Structure 1
Amino acid sequence: MALFDSLPGAVRDGDLITHFGNPLIEQRDLAAGRAISPLTDRTVIEVAGEDRLSWLDSITSQSVGHLHPGDSTELLVLDPQGRVEHAAGVFEDGAGVWLIADDADAEKLAAWLQRMVFRSRVTVTVRPDAALVGFLAGGEAEKRITASAPNGVPVVWRDPWHQVQPGGHQYALVDQHPGSEYPWSVALVDDVDALGGPFAGALAAEALRVAAWRPRWSHEVDERTIPHESDWIRSAVHLSKGCYRGQETVAKVHNLGHPPRRLAALHLDGSDVVLPVRGDLVFDGETEVGTITSAVLHFEEGPIALAVLSRRASTGELTVRSEGIDIAAAQQVIVPADAGATAGVPRLTRLSRRPTAEDPRTAR
């Protein structure tokens, strides 16, 4: 993104700004609401036209037909078997809907939307020059973004992950979901120089996302993913809206069955310098039970990861194999093995820090 080319100290991996010199300090600033993170790996798709909301409502997992100007939500596009094909944040500005998608998915999502227009009065346009920044709401970063916006009214998508959305459902059995501490927001900006610093790179933004158990299309989704597996019904699926492609699977798994896989949070042994990468295998003893989807170094919790596991994997300690090295991993269950039939199960305490051998919450 050309708008971010002038940022001093930016370290890049291709177009992605990974950090500005110290990812851990950047995490602290981002978590405190001080830092702004350039999101050079996101793309905006504009959906305009008078039928835009009813049309999106009819073809996606989310109820968007009654959005008001300024409302935010999230949607999924599912295949006929209920598997996740696309995902996007949704912001309605009164004249159009702004969809925020991962770069790797945006063109495919836009092409699919174009094919679904038929006679609906909508237009679909990719906005590759739209510049996005991420921040945590309620801090100095938000004040700077508001002050720099035309007329002091920025276009801001509020991530719905911070609480269970209307029509949604949470499978995680915790007393306080880490998403409640993650008021992630994304703003459209015109002048990055007007924002001032500090800035935080993608490493910092990803660390906070993983700590919040927040799924992302480019990481937690593969060709088999259904939304139940990563607790995505919490924010992106309305269970009682009208028909849409994949709804039968969503309802059947939620009401009658269990997802075949489940997302788990892993607190990794930090004694090794190896940090797993997406696709590294997870073992329960000698049995392969899943793969890493995201792994980060968190400024408070140390090395942590998200992993998609077999539903039948044990809830105890696991092992991650990366570059030939076995890394011990204490597991925090996010989606229980019996998800869909968990009413009345006692709430569990979330691990807020990296567990130790003396921590009774991780005793086997």
Structure 2
Amino acid sequence: MTSEWLKRDGAVVENPGDEVAWHYGDPLREQRRLAGEGAVVDRGDRRILTVTGAERLTWLHSLTTQHLTALEAGRGTELLVLSPNGHVEHHANVFDDGETTWLDTEAADGDGLRGYLERMRFFTPVEIADVTADWALVTYTGDDSLTEPDRLPVPEAKFAAGTLPPRPSVIYHGESTTSGGFRRRTDQLGIATVDMLVPRVESASVPERSGLPVSGRWAFDVLRIPAERPVVGVDTDHRTIPHEAAALLACAVHLDKGCYRGQETVARVHHLGKPPRRLVSLHLDGSEEHPPAVGADVKAGPRTAGRVGTAGRHYEDGMVALALLRRNVADDPETVYDVEGSRARR
């Protein structure tokens, strides 16, 4: 569904049919505002799912990587759904208001996540709904009025069972709003970052009501790169396991929780081995005007070392990219890479 935000002056889409603006005419300035005094971003293309029923958290706890049975009302977190072999299939951000668990995920993954949840419902008394037509997500920066996230440290290998508290690995503090939506502080851009769920009919008026300038998706995505925050399906592939993306492991996986699909792989890699690849941020030399495409090869000498995910021009650091690289290559800080003709380093 096309956002009313696209009617704003200067709104530009990256591809025909996109639902949110790529930028509003000055993407570097939009980044600077988002990282500095604050700005608001339309993320209305995200899919919004709800899970209701008294057993919703226990049920989601049994299916996902996150410890959810102790998630309090007014709090959020993240979760992953893994394949039987431990590969990342779905990712969602979470908020529970005491009656409903809200899940927001990438537009391309909404049908997949909903379908999986529907198939796994069996006789559990929960209801799953796609409410994207009625609700929209916006994200803004520059507001630290909510308590910052509460993160558990990632434990060392072969830690003793029972040493991690039985609670989500990250707790995002938030609150329900009078409109029926919520606010949730995630700091996912490495600065005070707040997601707000609002009725879709009210979404386009958020900038005026908040007094914040608008920034496009370009600014938001480029600021994810130095924070090494991946988008599943863009910065990951069908072979990605949680340990390959440190932010996913830290925020969406409780390492002392068992009995979910793919848990054996998570435990084995954490206790006995190292992941075959690592998600890292790269600085490119800027010799190419345009950022590399998603999926572009990263070469170390004559050999392919990995692939590029999100890439773009940072307002301070120049051309940057997220890349999923072979671990033995990524661990060497002196390696110089070639990315579509540009030289790159960690």
Q: TM-score range by the shorter chain?
A: 0.7 to 0.9
Does the 8 Å CA contact 1:33/1:135 hold for their aligned counterparts? no
Task: Tell me, yes or no, if structure 1 residue 217 matches structure 2 residue 217.
Answer: no
Task: Tell me, yes or no, if structure 1 residue 230 matches structure 2 residue 245.
Answer: yes
Instruction: Return the alpha-carbon distance in structure 1 between the equivalents of residues 206 and 306 of structure 2.
Output: 45
Number of residue pairs matched? 302
Cα deviation, residue 300, structure 1: 1.1
Aligned to 2:136: 131
Aligned to 1:320: 338
Cα deviation, residue 3, structure 1: 4.1
Cα deviation, residue 160, structure 1: 6.7
Amino acid across the alignment from 2:296: D
Does the 8 Å CA contact 1:33/1:138 hold for their aligned counterparts? no
Instruction: Return the alpha-carbon distance in structure 1 between the equivalents of residues 335 and 132 of structure 2.
Output: 44
Aligned to 1:36: 40
Task: Tell me, yes or no, if structure 1 residue 254 matches structure 2 residue 270.
Answer: yes
Cα deviation, residue 7, structure 1: 2.9
Match of 1:294, SS?
strand
Instruction: Return the alpha-carbon distance in structure 1 between the equivalents of residues 140 and 206 of structure 2.
Output: 15
Specify which of 213, 217, 220 is matched with residue 202 of structure 1. 217
Specify which of 55, 62, 73 is matched with residue 69 of structure 1. 73
Structure 2: which 5+ runs fail to align?
146-175
Distance 1:288 1:152, change over 3 A: same
Cα deviation, residue 139, structure 1: 6.1
Aligned to 1:92: 96
Aligned to 1:10: 11
Does the 8 Å CA contact 1:280/1:320 hold for their aligned counterparts? no
RMSD, matched Cα: 2.0
Amino acid across the alignment from 2:311: A
Instruction: Return the alpha-carbon distance in structure 1 between the equivalents of residues 120 and 239 of structure 2.
Output: 23
Instruction: Return the alpha-carbon distance in structure 2 between the equivalents of residues 127 and 99 of structure 1.
Output: 10
TM-score by length of 1: 0.78
Amino acid across the alignment from 2:192: P
Aligned to 1:294: 310
Instruction: Return the alpha-carbon distance in structure 2 between the equivalents of residues 8 and 185 of structure 1.
Output: 25
Amino acid across the alignment from 2:274: H
Specify which of 286, 300, 311 is matched with residue 284 of structure 1. 300
Aligned to 2:182: 155
Distance 1:202 1:138, change over 3 A: same
The 5 A counterparts of 1:52-67 are: 52-67=56-71
Distance 1:188 1:103, change over 3 A: same
Match of 1:217, SS?
coil
Instruction: Return the alpha-carbon distance in structure 2 between the equivalents of residues 282 and 194 of structure 1.
Output: 40
What per-residue deviation string (whole Å, max 9, x for no partner) do you get for residues 215-238 of structure 1? 211322211000100112111100
What per-residue deviation string (whole Å, max 9, x for no partner) do you get for residues 18-69 of structure 1? 0001001111111125210001331101111111000000000000111111
Does the 8 Å CA contact 1:17/1:40 hold for their aligned counterparts? no
Does the 8 Å CA contact 2:207/2:214 hold for their aligned counterparts? no
TM-score by length of 2: 0.82
Does the 8 Å CA contact 2:38/2:142 hold for their aligned counterparts? no
Amino acid across the alignment from 1:29: R
Identity within the alignment, %? 39
Instruction: Return the alpha-carbon distance in structure 1 between the equivalents of residues 231 and 110 of structure 2.
Output: 13
Match of 2:48, SS?
strand
Instruction: Return the alpha-carbon distance in structure 1 between the equivalents of residues 45 and 336 of structure 2.
Output: 32
